[in-house]
Amino acid sequence: MMLDWDTLYAECMSCQKCGLAETRTNVVFGEGPRDAEVMFIGEGPGEQEDKTGRPFVGRAGKFLDDMLAMIDLDRSKVFIGNMVKCRPPQNRDPLNTEQEACIGYLRNQVALLKPKIIVCLGRISAIKLIRDDYKITKEHGQWVEKAGIQMTAIYHPSALLRDPRKRPETFEDLKELQSKIRDLCTHTY
């Protein structure tokens, strides 16, 4: 069942569909304009996100802001969300069962926003949203169309913090993203 934005938000805020509900502080719904043309999807909230209820506000989030700035994108122009809306304990990868429990909310968000472009941040969302045998090391920066939406994946900002050698190739991916945005998006960025 497709819910409107406010109903969906309310459902998420009180969701108990997976075990992460027991340890979360806040549900991180994701944020951005209701007519965002570009969505960035990470893995799941970390400590700062769990505390504040906002996506990508910790160290990885600051780095994501820097990545966006390189292509003149501001986070206020795009939607930023995650595969799971509640923090996995100790920042472990979200389990497949948790992702399956949560993905309906993300699909509902996509259906309402109708973005032109979805950028997966890291392998977790790429595997779930693009292809279940997606290889981020090999395939980052490649584009595929799914249901009329242009999709790509780039390295997760945390991976780029850990391994600066990955940054030059990510800069190339970001440049490609910038040109896709210029081709496809109608809002001014």
- Which value, to the nearest 10 degrees, does the dihedral of the CA atoms of residues 41, 129, 4, 79 take? 20
* Residue 32 binds ligand URA, judged by CB under 6 A: no
Q: Which does 42 bind (CB under 5 to 8 A by kind): ligand URA, ligand SF4, none?
A: ligand URA
CA dihedral (151, 122, 54, 77) positive or negative: negative
Place of tokens 């820097």: 66
Residues 6 or more apart in contact with residue 90 via CB below 8 angstroms: none
Q: How would DSSP label each residue in 99-153?
A: HHHHHHHHHHHHHHH--SEEEEESHHHHHHHT-TT--HHHHTT--EEETTEEEEE
Query: Which residues from 103-142 bind ligand SF4, rule CB under 6 A?
Result: none
Number of residues that bind ligand SF4 (CB under 6 A): 14
Q: Which does 159 bind (CB under 5 to 8 A by kind): ligand SF4, ligand URA, none?
A: none
Asked if 50 and 25 touch (Cβ cutoff 8 Å), the reply is yes
Q: Which does 102 bind (CB under 5 to 8 A by kind): ligand URA, ligand SF4, none?
A: ligand SF4
Query: Which residues from 4-23 bind ligand SF4, rule CB under 6 A?
Result: 12, 15-18, 20-21
* Residue 82 binds ligand URA, judged by CB under 6 A: yes
Q: Which residue of 101, 113, 119, 160 would you call a contact of ligand SF4, by CB under 6 A?
A: 101
Query: Which residues from 38-67 bind ligand URA, rule CB under 6 A?
Result: 42-46, 49, 55-56, 58, 60-61
Query: In this structure, what token pair is assigned to residue 27?
Result: 């549900």
Q: Which does 85 bind (CB under 5 to 8 A by kind): ligand SF4, ligand URA, none?
A: ligand SF4
Q: What is the C-alpha separation between 60 and 62, in angstroms, rounded?
A: 5
Question: What are the residues binding ligand SF4 (CB under 6 A)?
Answer: 12, 15-18, 20-21, 27, 84-86, 98, 101-102
